[in-house]
Amino acid sequence: MTSPLYESLARLLTEQRNPMSMDLDALSVPEILRLINAQDKLVPLAVEREIPYIARAIELIVDSLKQGGRLIYVGAGTSGRLGVVDASECPPTFGSDPSMVQGIIAGGREAMFRSQEGAEDRPENGKMEMDRLGVGARDTVCGIAASRRTPYVVAAIARARELGAHTVYLTTNPRSEFNLEVDVAICPEVGPEVVMGSTRMKSGTAQKLVLNMLTTTAMVCLGKVFENMMVDLQLTNQKLVERSKRILTIATGVDHATAAATLEAAGGHVKTAMVMIMAQVPFEEARQRLERADGFVRRAVELR
C-alpha cells in the first residue's frame, strides 16, 4: 500500500518523467547538452507568463522595505540556497543593510554546503524560525519550494501570515494546483525535468530568475539605481572602489581624477558624489537633496 506522500509526489508536475528525455542515458554528450539547453530555453517563457504576479509581489516587498521591514526568503535544499544567495548579494550590489533581505534555509548554515534533506520535513522548525526572527506586519516573507509541499516552508509561511506579514510563494508547479493561503503565488510552470525530479535544473533556474527580478526591481524602486547603474554600492574592496569611480565618470562625464576626488569628498558615498557633480553643489547640500528626494539621484539633481 502506498503512502499519502508517495501519492502526493506522484501527482506533482515536477516529479513527472519528461517525454523528451526518455533516452537520456543512450545519448552522446553533445546530444545530452542540446537536450538540456532546449529544455532550459522554456524557462524564461514560463517566468514571463508570471510577470503580473511577480509585479504584485514586488509591490508588497517595496511596501515592506519602505516601512523599515524586511524581505525574508524561506526554503529548503536548492530553493533555500537560492534564497540565501540572492539575499547575500544585495548588500554589495545595492548597499542595503544585511538585515533588509534575508535568506533562511532548512537545516541552517550547514545546509548551504551539504544536503540536510531531513530538515525540510520539520514544520515546527519553520514556525520557530519566524518567531526567532520576530516576523511582523512590516515584513514580507517569501516561501520558495519547487514542489510547493515542503513542510518546513509551508509551516513558516503559515506562521508568518499569522504574525501579520505579507506572504509570497514561489513554486514551479501549476497555479491550478496551488492551495495555500498567501497574498501572492508565483508559479512559473517549467514542466518535468530532464532528469526526473531533479528540481535543481529548470525549476532552480526559474526560481533564480524570479528572485533576481524581485530584489533588483525592488531596489530600483527604492532609488538604489541611476539609469541602469548601481549607485548605492559599498566600497568594501578595491574592485568596488574603481567601479564607483567609473560609474561617476560615465554618469557625469568628469575625468577619473575628478571622480576620485569627489568620491573622497563625499565620504565614499557614490550617490552624494553624483549629485555634487551633476547639480554642482557642495557635499552638505547634495546630502540634503538626496534626503528630500528619498534617495533618488535623478530627483535630487532636479530639486531647487
Can 193 be counted among the known catalytic residues?
no
| CATH no. of 10-221 | 3.40.50.10490
31, 50, 59, 89: which one is catalytic?
89
Can 89 be counted among the known catalytic residues?
yes
Give the model confidence (pLDDT) of 283-299 as tens digits: 999 999 999 999 999 99
Helix axis angle for 283-292 and 270-278, nearest 10°, is 110
Following DSSP, what letter does each residue of 102-119 receive, concatenated? Answer: EEEETT-GGGGTS--GGG
Please tell me the predicted confidence (pLDDT) of residue 179: 94
Please tell me the distance from the alpha carbon of residue 172 to that of residue 149, in angstroms, as a whole number: 11
Query: Taking the domains of the chain in order of start, what are their residue ranges?
Result: 10-221, 225-302
Please tell me the predicted confidence (pLDDT) of residue 224: 95
Pairing of strands 229-230, 225-226: antiparallel
195: DSSP letter: S
Is residue 117 within 8 Å of residue 77, measured between CB atoms?
A: yes
Please tell me the distance from the alpha carbon of residue 219 to that of residue 213, in angstroms, as a whole number: 10
Burial class (CB in 10 A: 0-12, 13-18, 19+), 58: buried
Closest listed residue to residue 182, CA positions, set 191, 173, 190, 171: 171
What's the whole-model pTM score? 0.92
120, 129, 189, 193: which one is catalytic?
120
Give the model confidence (pLDDT) of 13-46 as tens digits: 888 899 999 999 999 999 999 999 999 999 999 9
Give the model confidence (pLDDT) of 233-276 as tens digits: 888 889 989 999 999 999 999 999 999 999 999 999 999 999 99
Sheet with strand 101-105: strands edge to edge: 101-105, 71-75, 140-144, 166-170, 184-186
Please tell me the distance from the alpha carbon of residue 50 to that of residue 65, in angstroms, as a whole number: 22
Is residue 194 within 8 Å of residue 58, measured between CB atoms?
A: no
Inform me whether the pLDDT recorded for 127 exceeds 80: yes
Is residue 95 within 8 Å of residue 224, measured between CB atoms?
A: yes
Architecture of the domain delimited by 225-302: Orthogonal Bundle (1.10)
Please tell me the distance from the alpha carbon of residue 4 to that of residue 9, in angstroms, as a whole number: 9
